[in-house]
């Protein structure tokens, strides 16, 4: 076990006890990145080498000088006995969808490849203020549009540290991969339909999507503005709690940021879970696909996923929780179709600003009139996924289709929210503290297996997207491995602002399974060295 494989909390304690320095911690992470990450994603990658196929490729941009300067400052503070902040000396990565001052902020798109942000996102600013060391910006699906990170304009795209022939998930694929491979202790991701939880599940780490508005979106390059949630990816619940603590809270620069006080997440971890009501829903044990004729076909989740959920339920029951079965969540099946409409309408509008006029990519071709500049700049600057979202978003929000699609989708979104309200209603029939599900219907799929089929890719998010529609928090945590040797993630969903409960339940599971054999397994990229 190397320094960079410890948890953030363990390293923080070592730093405060002056057993290690922040520079040593940083060096350990940089050495790990040098060893396993391979070359960072670029716009002109050339052919893929044999070595490429064995590396993680989490990064787009590394900022070693910045991290080094910060680490030295933290060491000085610790030496002087000053308060260095709750995350002092902890290296972290940032999904390259957040703006960081004077740093390339690319959204993994050619259209923003040359964009250096003149300001820093609130979430990043708060992590840095807490003393965390930014290692750089990590790769993702272009503008977060995807569930495998393969659609990045910066190639090679990230690979799964447990099996580099597999995707790390997405869109926060670089985030999950960097944490899983021991390159960073923490990563800042975003979740619009599952983009934190799904890659966390695929890479065997903890990923938390907070309640909508719990963490400010200021500086997050928007995808679906009514769905986007910044959140932590970490090695365990405690680290995630530490990170969320530093980021959560009101922000005068984000009108949709909640003005509620932030509870003490770390203190909540140690509480007893006795009496907590944890629900299981048949609607989360199956995947529902709409067919061309409008009918739905259903497919149960794989047996090993189902078994992992039931096994966790047994653990919780043994810890004194009550398991409530057969909680109906009937509108879960509409999550993806509704998401297809709402997220695309917002995305198409959010992408309007990339027009080749003010910043970012501008066509090198000769242009005639203004529209020609727009068409060529956007045509060359955007990859396939943004283009698909623009087309779909423009279509379903057009005056003649808006009622049929967009407005209808908003009404169904309300129904999805109602499922959760009924399940969590303290006076209701189920009175749940949390709903337990598998995070994904499958484990990490092989690279290029699903890519290109944007409908199928989307269904990787079926179990995660309802929380985004409803705005409620969700967490994914590792719960063993499937027969394919890949991590399995379980998900807990809770009512608004119940992050403390979700972290507490995750922590309880971690404690209860600490001695399990599967906990000893290490990512493949660390073994081949």
Partner 1 sequence: MTAYETVIGLETHIQLNTLTKIFCACKADSWEDAPNSNICPVCTGLPGVLPVLNERVVEKAVLLAEAMHAEVQPISYFDRKNYFYPDLPKGFQISQFDVPVALGGYLELPIPAAADPEGKGYVTRVRIHKLHIEEDAGKTKNDGNERQVDFNRCGVPLVEMVTEPDLRTADEAAQYLIRLRQLLRWIGISEADMEKGNLRCDANVSIRPVGATHLNEKTEIKNVNSIDSVREAIRKEVERQTREVEEGNSIKAWTLEWDQDAGVLRKMRSKETEADYRYFREPDLLPLHISEEWKTAILADFPERPLERKARFMQDYNLPEYDADILTLERALSDYFEATVKTYGGDSKKVSNWLMNDVLRMINEDHLDPAAMRLTPQYLAELLKLVDAGTINITTGKALLQQVQESGKAPMQLVEEQGLAQVSDDAAIRAVCEQIIAASPDEVAAYRGGKDSLMGWFVGQVMREMRGKADAKLAKEVLVELLK
Site residues for partner 1 per CB under 8 A? 98-99, 105, 107, 112, 115, 117-119, 121, 217-222, 224-226, 252-256, 345-346, 348-349, 351-353, 355, 357-359, 370-371, 374, 394, 397-399, 402, 406
166 or 344, CB closer to partner 1? 344
- From residue 314, alpha-carbon distances to 138, 504, 505, 520 in Å are 37, 17, 13, 22
The catalytic residue among 7, 21, 84, 95 is 95
358 or 520, CB closer to partner 1? 358
Neighbouring-strand partners of residue 434: 278
Cα separation, 491 vs 466, in Å, equals 12
Please say whether the dihedral angle defined by the alpha carbons of residues 159, 164, 165 and 167, taken in this order, is positive or negative.
negative
The catalytic residue among 105, 157, 195, 454 is 195
DSSP state of 53: G
CB of 219 to partner 1, least distance (A): 4
Give the contacts of 470 (CB within 8 A, at least 6 positions apart).
Answer: 416, 417, 419, 420
CB of 216 to partner 1, least distance (A): 8
CB of 57 to partner 1, least distance (A): 23
The catalytic residue among 152, 157, 171, 438 is 171
89 or 213, CB closer to partner 1? 213
CB of 295 to partner 1, least distance (A): 29
CB of 469 to partner 1, least distance (A): 13
Catalytic residue flag (residue 171): yes
CA-CA-CA-CA dihedral for 460, 466, 469, 473, to nearest 10 = -100
154 or 185, CB closer to partner 1? 154
Q: How many residues does the chain have?
A: 529
Cα separation, 292 vs 344, in Å, equals 20
Residue with the two structure tokens 């009512």: 495
For 302-328, b where at least 16 C-beta lie within 10 A, e where not — what string?
beebeebbeebbebbeebebebbeebe
Q: What ranges make up the beta strands (E) of 274-313? A: 277-279, 286-290, 296-300
124 or 524, CB closer to partner 1? 124
Give the contacts of 529 (CB within 8 A, at least 6 positions apart).
Answer: 35, 36
Could you give the angle at the alpha carbon of 186 between the alpha carbons of 435 and 65, nearest 5°?
Answer: 160
CB of 394 to partner 1, least distance (A): 7
218 or 334, CB closer to partner 1? 218
DSSP state of 127: H
The residues annotated with a catalytic role in the active site are 95, 171, 195
């Amino acid at each position: 076990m190397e320094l960079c494989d410890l948890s953030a909390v363990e390293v923080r304690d070592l730093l405060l006890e002056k057993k290690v320095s922040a520079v040593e911690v940083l060096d350990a992470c940089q050495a790990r990145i040098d060893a396993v990450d391979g070359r960072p994603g670029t716009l002109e990658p050339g052919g893929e080498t044999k070595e490429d196929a064995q590396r993680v490729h989490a990064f787009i941009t590394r900022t070693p000088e910045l991290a080094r300067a910060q680490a030295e400052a933290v060491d000085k503070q610790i030496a002087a006995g000053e308060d260095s902040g709750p995350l002092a000396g902890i290296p972290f990565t940032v999904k390259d969808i957040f703006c960081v001052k004077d740093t390339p902020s690319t959204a993994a798109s050619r259209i923003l490849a040359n964009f250096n942000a003149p300001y820093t996102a609130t979430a990043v600013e708060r992590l840095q203020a807490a003393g965390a060391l930014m290692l750089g910006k990590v790769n993702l699906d272009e503008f977060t549009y995807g569930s495998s990170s393969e659609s990045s304009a910066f190639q090679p795209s990230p690979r799964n540290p447990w099996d580099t022939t597999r995707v790390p998930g997405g869109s926060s694929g670089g985030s999950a991969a960097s944490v899983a491979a021991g390159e960073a202790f923490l990563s800042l991701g975003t979740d619009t339909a599952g983009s934190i939880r799904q890659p966390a599940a695929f890479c065997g780490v903890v990923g938390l999507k907070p309640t909508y508005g719990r963490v400010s979106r200021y500086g997050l390059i928007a995808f679906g503005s009514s769905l986007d949630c910044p959140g932590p990816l970490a090695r365990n619940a405690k680290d995630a709690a530490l990170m969320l603590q530093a980021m959560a809270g009101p922000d005068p620069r984000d009108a949709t940021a909640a003005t509620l006080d932030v509870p003490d997440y770390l203190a909540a971890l140690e509480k007893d879970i006795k009496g907590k009501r944890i629900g299981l829903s048949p609607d989360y044990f199956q995947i529902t696909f709409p067919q061309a004729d409008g009918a739905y076909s259903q497919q149960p989740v794989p047996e090993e996923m189902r078994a992992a959920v039931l096994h966790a339920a047994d653990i919780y029951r043994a810890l004194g929780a009550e398991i409530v079965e057969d909680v109906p969540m009937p509108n879960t099946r509409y999550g993806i179709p509704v998401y297809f409409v709402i997220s695309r309408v917002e995305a198409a509008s959010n992408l309007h600003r990339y027009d080749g006029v003010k910043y970012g990519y501008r066509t090198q071709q000769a242009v005639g009139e203004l529209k020609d500049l727009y068409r060529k700049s956007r045509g060359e600057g955007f990859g396939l996924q943004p283009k698909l979202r623009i087309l779909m978003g423009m279509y379903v929000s057009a005056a003649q289709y808006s009622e049929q699609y967009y407005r209808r989708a908003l009404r169904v979104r309300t129904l999805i929210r109602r499922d959760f309200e009924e399940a969590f209603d303290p006076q209701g029939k189920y009175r749940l503290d949390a709903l337990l599900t598998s995070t994904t219907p499958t484990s990490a799929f092989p690279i290029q297996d699903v890519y290109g089929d944007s409908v199928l890719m989307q269904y990787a998010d079926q179990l995660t997207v309802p929380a985004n529609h409803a705005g409620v928090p969700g967490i994914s945590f590792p719960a063993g491995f499937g027969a394919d040797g890949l991590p399995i993630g379980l998900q807990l969903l809770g009512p608004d602002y119940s992050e403390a409960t979700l972290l507490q339940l995750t922590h309880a599971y971690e404690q209860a399974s600490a001695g399990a054999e599967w906990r000893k397994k290490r990512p493949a990229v660390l073994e081949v060295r």
